[in-house]
Chain A
Amino acid sequence: MENTDWSDVSASLTGDDAAYSRIVRRYERAITGLLWRFTRDPAQCEELVQQVFVDAYFSLKTYRGDAPLLHWLRKIATRTGYRYWREKTRESVETTLPDSDVLEQIAAAQDDEIDPTEAAAVLQGLLARLPADDRLVLTLMYFDECSTLEIAERMGWSRAKVKTQALRARRRIKEIAEREHLLEKLGWTL
C-alpha cells in the first residue's frame, strides 16, 4: 500500500473527514470508469460511485492493507454494480441495441475512426441482454481486461465458476449477436 493511502486510511479511521476526501478524489476517476460499464446513465452512475465510497468508509476498519487500496475499492464497486444489475433485472427493464444509424456509422468507419462512445454503447447494449452473472463476467473481461482469477477474487467466486460462466456467457452473447445480425449491421461479415 502506498504511504499516502496508508496515512489517509489511518487518519480517516480516527474521524478525519479531509483525509477520506483525499482518498475519494484520488480514486473516484478509476471507480467511475468501472461503474460506467454498469450503467450509462450519468445520474445513476454518480449515485453508484457515491454509494461505493460511503460503503467503503463504513467498512474501512476491515481493510487490512495487504492489497492496494484501489483493488479493495474496485472489489466494492464491482459488487455494488452487480447488485444494481440484479435489482434492475427484477424490474425487468428491456434494453435495446443502439439504433441502426449508430450501427451504420460504425460500419462505415475504419477501425481508427470508430467512435469509442458508440462502440461502448453497442457492446453494453448487447451485454445488457444477458443474465447478471454472465454480463458481469464478460463486462469485466471486455472492458476491464480482467483475468478469470481477478474476477473470482473480486466477486468471491471460485475460479472454476468464473471459467464456466465465461464459457456460457460467450456462447449466449454469440447467439444474441447472430440473432440481431450484428455482423451484417456492422458490415463486418468478411
Chain B
Amino acid sequence: MDALEALVRLARKAREEPIPIFNVADRVRLRIRSERPASVTLIPLGLFGGLSAVAASITLFMAIEFWKYVSSPVMELVAPLPEIRLW
C-alpha cells in the first residue's frame, strides 16, 4: 500500500468521527452585544443643538438692546474720566 492510499484510508474513517457539540448561540449573542458599536442617537444631539440656538438668540437680543443705550462705545469708555477728582 502506498503512503497516500493509507492517508485516504485514514481519512475515510476519520470522517466518521463524532464531533463535539458546543451550543454557542447564547455566547455569540453576548459577544455581538459587547462588540456592537454604540449607536449614536440623534435626539440628544438635536436637543443640544436646539438649546444652543435658543441661548444664542437670547444673547443676541440682549446684546442689541444694550447697544442701543451706548451712544459711542469709545466715548463711553473715556467720558467718565474728567469727572473723577484726581486731587
Contacts and interface: CB of A to CB of B under 8 A. Distances in A.
A24 B6 contact: no
Given A21-B28, A116-B13, A188-B1, A123 B7 contact: yes
B53 interface: no
Contacts of A36: 17, 19-20
User: Does more than half of chain B's interface fall in helix, strand or loop, or is it mixed?
Assistant: helix
B52 interface: no
B1 A28 contact: no
B43 to A, nearest CB: 18
Contact of B20 (A24, A42, A170): A42
B27 to A, nearest CB: 6
Contacts of B31: 50, 54
B20 A45 contact: yes
A173 interface: yes
Given A50-B24, A58-B32, A142-B11, 9 more contacts: A17-B29, A24-B28, A28-B24, A46-B22, A53-B24, A58-B35, A116-B15, A126-B7, A174-B2
Contacts of A20: 28-29, 32
Given A33-B19, A50-B24, A143-B15, A119 B10 contact: yes
Contacts of A126: 7
Q: Give the interface size class of chain B.
A: 20 to 34
B32 A177 contact: no
Contacts, number: 113
Interface residues of A, number: 45
A28 B25 contact: yes
A151 interface: no
A49 interface: yes
B51 interface: no
A101 interface: no
25 contacts: A20-B28, A21-B25, A21-B26, A21-B28, A21-B29, A28-B23, A32-B19, A36-B20, A45-B22, A50-B28, A57-B28, A114-B10, A114-B13, A116-B17, A116-B18, A117-B18, A120-B14, A123-B10, A143-B14, A173-B3, A177-B3, A177-B6, A182-B6, A183-B6, A188-B6
Contacts of B33: 17
